[in-house]
Amino acid sequence: MTKAAEAARAAVEREDGGTLRRYYHQMLLLRRFEERVSEMYVKAKIGGYCHLNLGEEASIVGLMDALTPDDYIFTNYREHGYILARGVEPGPIMAELFGKETGVSGGRGGSMHLFDAKAHFMGGYAIVGGQVPLAVGAAYALKYQGKPGVVVAQMGDATTNIGAFYESLNLAKLWKLPILFFIVNNGYGMGTSVEHGSSEPNLSKKGGAFRIHGERIDGTNVLAVRDAVRRLRQKAEEEGEPAILDVTSFRFRGHSVIDADRYRDADAVRRGRETFDPVRKFAAILRDTGIVEDAFLKETAELVDRMVQDAIDFANNSPEPKFEDMYTHMYATPVPNTPDAQDAIRAVKINRGE
C-alpha cells in the first residue's frame, strides 16, 4: 500500500460510520444523476450545453459537507452535483435541465444556470470566470453587513487564466474577505491541458503575488477535501483570510456531453477513470475496513437509482413554462407585442411542434 493509501485508510478508520455511509450515498447519487443526465441528453430531453461532474464527486461532497447554511456558493456551468450536494431536491434540478416550469430556475436557465436562493446556491455561470467577481462582491456584502458565513467561488483550472480571477484575488486579500477560491483542477479547459494553458501548473501558487495562501488537495478523497475546506473556511470567516484550493481530479468524459474527446488518448482516459474513480475507491475502502458490507452497497445503489428515476419522472410529467410568462423574471420591461417578441414566440412553438 502507498503512503497516501495508508493515510486515507487511517482517516476512514477514525471517522464515524454513519457519516461515511452518508458520503457514499451522496457521491453515488451524483454519479447516477450525471449518468442518467447523459442518457436524457441523447434522448433529446435536455437542450443546450450540458457539462457533467463525473469524476469530481468526492471534491463536491467534501466541499459541501464542510459548509454551513450561512455560506454562499457561486459556481461555473458544471454545477449539477454542487446543487444536489447542497441538499436541493433532485426533481426540480432535473426539471430545470428539461426546461420545465417546475425547475429550480423556472425552466428559464437549463443546465448551466441552476439557482436556489434559499439554499444560498447562487448558481451556475456560463461565462468562464464570470462568477468569481460576483462571489467577491457577495463576500464583501457579508463582511459589510457583519453577517456570519463565507463565500465559495468554485471554478475550473482554466478559469485561473482569466483576468477577472486576478482582480478578484487582489480585492479579496486587500479587503480581508471571507472567501475560498475552490479550483476544480480536472486537468483540462475544453481541449487545452493545464500544462498548455497555464505558465504555472501548480494552481495553488497562483495567489502568490497577492499573498494568498494556497493548497493542493486530492479531489478524489472526500475526507481530505472536507478537512481542508473546514480548516480554511474557519480562517476565512474568523480572520478574513482568503485561500486558494487546487483540487485535483480526473475528467471522466469530454468537456461537455457533445465533446468526442479526441484530443485525449483513449487508453489514458480508460486508465485515468480506473485510477481516479472517487466513488469506486471509496466503496473499496469502506468494504476493506469492514465499515460496510456488500448488502449496503447494493441497497444504496438501488435507493439512488430510484431517486434519480423519480427525478426523471417528475421532470417528464412537469409542464412547460407558459407563453404568458415568457417575460417574467426579466430585468427589462416586457414588450410582448413587438414583432421581435412575436417571432420569438413563433420560434418556440415550432420547436415544441405546436
Q: Which residues bind ligand TPP (CB under 6 A)?
A: 76, 78, 126-128, 155-159, 184, 186, 188-190, 255
Distance CA 209, CA 257 (A): 37
190 interface partner picked from ligand TPP, Mg ion, none, CB below 5 to 8 A per type? ligand TPP
159 interface partner picked from ligand TPP, Mg ion, none, CB below 5 to 8 A per type? ligand TPP
Taking CB under 5 A as the binding criterion, the range among 23-31, 132-140, 154-162, 292-300 that sits at the site for Mg ion is: 154-162
Q: What angle do CA 288, 217, 175 make, to 5 degrees?
A: 145
Q: Which grid cell is 309?
A: 428515476
Per CB under 5 A, contacts with Mg ion among 156-215 are 156-157, 186, 188-189
294-317 vs 17-42: helix crossing angle, rounded to 10: 40
In the bound state with ligand TPP, the residue whose beta carbon lies nearer, of 65 and 157, is 157
Distance CA 70, CA 16 (A): 25
In the bound state with ligand TPP, the residue whose beta carbon lies nearer, of 52 and 139, is 52
Q: How far is the CB of 324 from ligand TPP (least distance, A)?
A: 32
34 interface partner picked from Mg ion, ligand TPP, none, CB below 5 to 8 A per type? none
Distance CA 274, CA 212 (A): 34
In the bound state with ligand TPP, the residue whose beta carbon lies nearer, of 182 and 314, is 182
Residue nearest to Mg ion (CB): 156
**Binding footprint of Mg ion, residue count (CB under 5 A):** 5
In the bound state with Mg ion, the residue whose beta carbon lies nearer, of 56 and 116, is 56
Q: Which residues contact 153 (CB under 8 A, 6 or more apart)?
A: 74, 131, 132, 135, 136, 168, 179, 180, 181, 182
In the bound state with ligand TPP, the residue whose beta carbon lies nearer, of 178 and 207, is 207
Identity of the residue numbered 332 = A
128 interface partner picked from ligand TPP, Mg ion, none, CB below 5 to 8 A per type? ligand TPP
Q: Which grid cell is 238?
A: 474568523
Whole-angstrom Cα Rg for the chain: 21
